Structure 1
Amino acid sequence: MTKHYLDDDAVARVGLGLLDRTLPKAEWTHAAHFAAALWLLRSRPDLPLAERMAEIIRAYNEATDTPNTDSGGYHETITRASMTAAISVLSHQPAARPLHEVVDVLMATELGRSDWPLAYWSKATLFSVEARRAWVGPDLQPLPQRF
């Protein structure tokens, strides 16, 4: 199994870097998106992520000169689907399992592929302006109950 982060401090650095907008843009990888989500879910239960995740990511994008437009930047459907997947994976791990190991477990699933949503959404639907702006449900098959 590929090791994405050496320890939980490295995962926390990603999560905190997202929150305070200091994570270098080059480090905002597919694995980092999930690492940040998992860290936020486990370490910041005080944050209402369902309401705040869009704001957090949009602010980070702006800080790293990534415009949030109808064709780039923040994507609501992908973010919500990814958060659902992260919650599923985290909920099926022992609470004491180090978070960097949870990242590796998650990335070893279909979620490790950056194109994983295309198993559930057609390209036309997923990359539509509507799906970028608001939740659009899968049009190919339902999301699984467990990832």
Structure 2
Amino acid sequence: MTAHSDTPYTDAEVATLARRLLDHSLPKAQWTHAAHLTATLRLVRIRDDGLERDMPGIIRAYNVAVGGVNDDHNGYHETITQAYLAAIRAFVATLPAGLGDGEAVARLLATPMGDKAWPLSFWSRERLFSVEARRAWVAPDLAPLEAV
């Protein structure tokens, strides 16, 4: 992250972060919650078609490349990924034309999604962190995601 403005990333840094996710060169320590949201926003903006299908493979491959695993307790989580993807897609649709990626990320991180606990507004902890929710989409049990 940069310290040169209120925007956590420049447009170029957003593009680089997404590229480094895709080519597996992003250090694992930099794969933070903010980085997850940043990369997803960028991918939605540049190649949204098919991300529901492609994002699982992108994240799983990255996890393995940096020494992680994707199993019933670690790594890729289908429900969380698809929830954020849908919410970020809806967020991007509200952005003014011409807004740069850095400013878009700053605005995204300032929303409730910027808090890692955001999914718990929609899912109970037990349901969200179940093996079933990690493996496949599980609908929210507290509030509809459409309320986002």
Q: TM-score, normalised by structure 1?
A: 0.93
Rounded to whole Å, the distance in 1 between the matches of 2:50 and 2:21 is 15
Rounded to whole Å, the distance in 2 between the matches of 1:3 and 1:85 is 21
SS of 1:68's partner is: coil
Q: Deviations over 1:15-62 (max 9, x none)?
A: 1011111111111111111111111111234x6211110000000000
Residues 1:64 and 2:63 aligned together: no
Rounded to whole Å, the distance in 2 between the matches of 1:144 and 1:44 is 23
Aligned length: 144
- Please tell me the root mean square deviation across aligned C-alpha atoms, in Å: 1.4
Fraction of identical pairs, as percent: 49
SS of 2:145's partner is: coil
**Residue identity matched to 1:37:** T
| Mapped contact 1:37–1:83 kept (Cα < 8 A) | yes
**Residue identity matched to 1:3:** T
Q: Deviations over 1:82-125 (max 9, x none)?
A: 00111011100013100111111111111010011011100100
Residue 42 of structure 1 corresponds to which residue in structure 2? 45
Could you tell me which of 16, 19, 22 is aligned with 2:19? 16
Rounded to whole Å, the distance in 1 between the matches of 2:54 and 2:143 is 27
Rounded to whole Å, the distance in 1 between the matches of 2:33 and 2:40 is 11
Q: TM-score, normalised by structure 2?
A: 0.92
Residue 25 of structure 1 corresponds to which residue in structure 2? 28
SS of 2:69's partner is: coil
Residue segments in structure 2 that go unaligned for 5+ positions in a row: none
Residues 1:110 and 2:112 aligned together: yes
CA spacing shift, 1:97–1:64, aligned 2, 3 Å: same
SS of 1:141's partner is: coil
Residue 142 of structure 1 corresponds to which residue in structure 2? 144
Superposition deviation, residue 145 in structure 1: 4.1
SS of 1:21's partner is: coil
Could you tell me which of 74, 78, 81 is aligned with 2:80? 78
Residues 1:3 and 2:15 aligned together: no
Residue segments in structure 1 that go unaligned for 5+ positions in a row: none
